[in-house]
Amino acid sequence: MAKQYATFAGGCFWCMVKPFDETPGIESVISGYTGGHVVNPTYEQVCSETTGHVEAVQIAFDDELYSYEQLLATFWTLIDPTDAGGQFYDRGESYTTAIFYHNEEQRDIAERSKADLQASGKFDKPVAVKILPASTFYPAEDYHQYYYKKNPMHYERYAVGSGRKAFQEQHWG
């Protein structure tokens, strides 16, 4: 095939870029907003919880070098898939999790991946990640793009302080 897109909401988009970036087959990882009803929302609008958007990343990838299944396997390790109210320190609708599929094949693969995770017994609670059709994706403001590179010390403090790193180590090693 050729270039495809994957869109994942996993709480704060800052923490969703680095694990996918600089991986062979990944062309770009853009932080942004999707799933809402306001055209071209700002960070402040999304944080106000009035737009219906979630923070998300949109990944452009070459599926001959890095498959959608591999993207999903990475996605699961970045989040608490049982938390329906946000992720770690960040609470509210804009920080909830979702897989936004771009075609029926992605939807089928995502549904199967979610079912496999649920059946694995890795978590005591049900997997709460929504699987939804992709809608318009609005790139976030420039200062949010590749935040881990622009502000490495703050990024690390945030990843640790939010509880995300400890959760990842506890559940995924």
**Any idea which residues carry the catalytic annotation?**
12
99 touches 132 (CB < 8 A): yes
* C-alpha to C-alpha distance for 67 and 74, rounded to whole angstroms: 11
Q: Which residues contact 28 (CB under 8 A, 6 or more apart)?
A: 59, 60
Query: What is the spatial distance between Cα 79 and Cα 165, in angstroms, rounded to a whole number?
Result: 10
Tokens of 148: 């881990």
Q: Give the separation between CA 144 and CA 96, rounded to whole angstroms.
A: 18
